[in-house]
């Protein structure tokens, strides 16, 4: 297995309206290439999130950012840097956390959601706090049907301010 040192290069997405923080583990190679979170075309994150929020599917990074911010969702990742083989979360080693206080000082976060088992385990290890687990929307995760994933992600809406 060939490991490479990876540094998180995507800025966090948040503003003063953010009420929930959704943390993945680390941007995949495809997300780093596209310059935004959950950028692989087979990743189901944006389709699920738009369904749960009752929003049109965001077709590009600007629309994705705008939808998340408009609806009170902050996005970032647990890991600031690590060694990893390809895109396999299971291969992550020597992980260093991001400083989540950058977001939590700037807005009133009601809940932290972690996407996938690795993000959940690392967030809890680094912070000593619990998060709300969401199944990985990766195209490789076919153990969770779209319907079950949508049901799991619908919990987010209970922590958001009502849409006016």
Other beta carbons within 10 Å of 11: 9
Report residue 56 CA to chain centroid gap: 19
43 given a catalytic annotation = yes
Which of 35, 37, 36, 14 lies closest to 108 in space, CA to CA? 14
Q: Is 124 helix (H, G, I), strand (E, B) or coil?
A: helix
Find the catalytic residue in 43, 60, 61, 98.
Answer: 43
Q: What is the DSSP string of 39-80?
A: -STT--HHHHHHHHHT-PPP-SHHHHHHHHHHTTEEEEESEE
Q: Among all residues, which ones are annotated catalytic?
A: 43
């Amino acid at each position: 297995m060939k490991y490479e040192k990876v540094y998180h290069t995507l800025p966090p997405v948040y503003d003063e309206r953010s009420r929930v923080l959704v943390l993945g583990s680390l941007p995949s190679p495809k997300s780093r290439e596209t310059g935004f979170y959950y950028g692989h075309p087979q990743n189901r994150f944006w389709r699920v999130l738009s369904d749960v929020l009752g929003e049109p599917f965001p077709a590009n990074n600007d629309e994705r950012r705008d939808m998340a911010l408009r609806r009170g969702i902050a996005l970032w990742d647990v890991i600031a840097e690590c060694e990893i083989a390809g895109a396999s979360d299971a291969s992550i080693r020597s992980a260093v956390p991001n400083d989540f206080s950058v977001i939590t000082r700037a807005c009133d976060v009601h809940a932290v959601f972690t996407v996938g088992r690795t993000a959940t385990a690392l967030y809890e290890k680094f912070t000593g706090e619990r998060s709300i687990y969401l199944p990985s929307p990766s195209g490789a995760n076919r153990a969770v049907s779209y319907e079950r994933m949508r049901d799991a992600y619908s919990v987010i809406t209970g922590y958001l301010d009502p849409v006016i």
